[in-house]
Copies of this chain bind each other. A is one copy, B any other.
């Protein structure tokens, strides 16, 4: 169960309105790696964790914090939209700042949300749960989380460079720092689980059931062997269970597949029509 206080986790006040930056900031609110994504990803992972120890608690701590980040960004965006002009083409043609706003802002901020933030990214794509990951396997999911915080911090840093507004930069410096913590934290959690299990997810699938002979092989499907010079192609594998090896000219292990005709009630191209097409000089024979 949740409680809300009206104070923000950290201040979210720009020096001045800027509807163009409001649009951009939507990316880290409602984009693939925005705050909605991490909040719901961590909470869903927490709710699915089948044990009540520190991992679940860590997920709930962090997911709940991300709700506060959604709130900060929603507040900041509303303020960046303060008094957004009702831009007109003719007027825009006369006033360069208006022209720039006309082009660079999100029309839905005035037409749809009434100067409020939207659950959408910087191109107006609405947020979708396609973005989030919760598998029940914590090592897999903590890797998803480490990635999410890496992508999230990267985007926040890029946005930091695209504004001179000190209030916006101040808020971003908070979010960037929190992403530093979160990268560190998920990294630490991954290391701990890797020590208890193994680096390969899932660790409990019997190793002998996989095709061991290709479990440490790099196949060189893209011409040129630069990739042979990496750690991943030489020496013992990271999981300590095999030796990396490099196959410069990979060949198929399987045969040309031949599918049976479909039954008549499917109305695919009739077999006899396809057969005419098969009736060719056998290319393997030439």
Contacts and interface: CB of A to CB of B under 8 A. Distances in A.
Contacts of A64: 2-4, 221-222
Interface string A251-273: 01111111111111111111101
A173 B71 CA distance: 31
Given A126-B125, A176-B210, A143 B146 contact: yes
Contacts of A264: 204
Interface string A66-90: 0110111011001100111011111
Contact of A107 (B11, B23, B62): B23
Given A159-B111, A215-B177, A258-B52, A136 B269 contact: yes
Q: How large is the interface on A (under 10, 10 to 19, 20 to 34, 35 or more residues)?
A: 35 or more
Contact of A224 (B6, B32, B147, B253): B6
A231 to B, nearest CB: 4
Given A125-B124, A202-B153, A2 B68 contact: yes
Contact of A259 (B18, B78, B88, B157): B78
Contact of A111 (B27, B178, B185): B27
A199 B257 CA distance: 30
Nearest to A3: B3
Interface in A31-76: 31-32, 36, 40, 43-44, 47-58, 60-65, 67-68, 70-72, 74-75
B103 A220 contact: no
Contact of A89 (B18, B52, B131, B269): B18
Given A82-B260, A125-B125, A221 B58 contact: no
B200 A184 contact: yes
Contact of A255 (B8, B100, B239): B8
Given A116-B134, A193-B273, A227-B57, A239 B3 contact: no
Nearest to A123: B124
Given A117-B48, A229-B281, A184 B204 contact: no
23 contacts: A1-B7, A3-B222, A9-B254, A10-B253, A12-B257, A20-B102, A27-B111, A43-B71, A48-B78, A50-B115, A51-B271, A53-B276, A61-B227, A82-B259, A92-B96, A93-B97, A100-B103, A110-B266, A174-B211, A177-B210, A177-B213, A177-B214, A197-B273
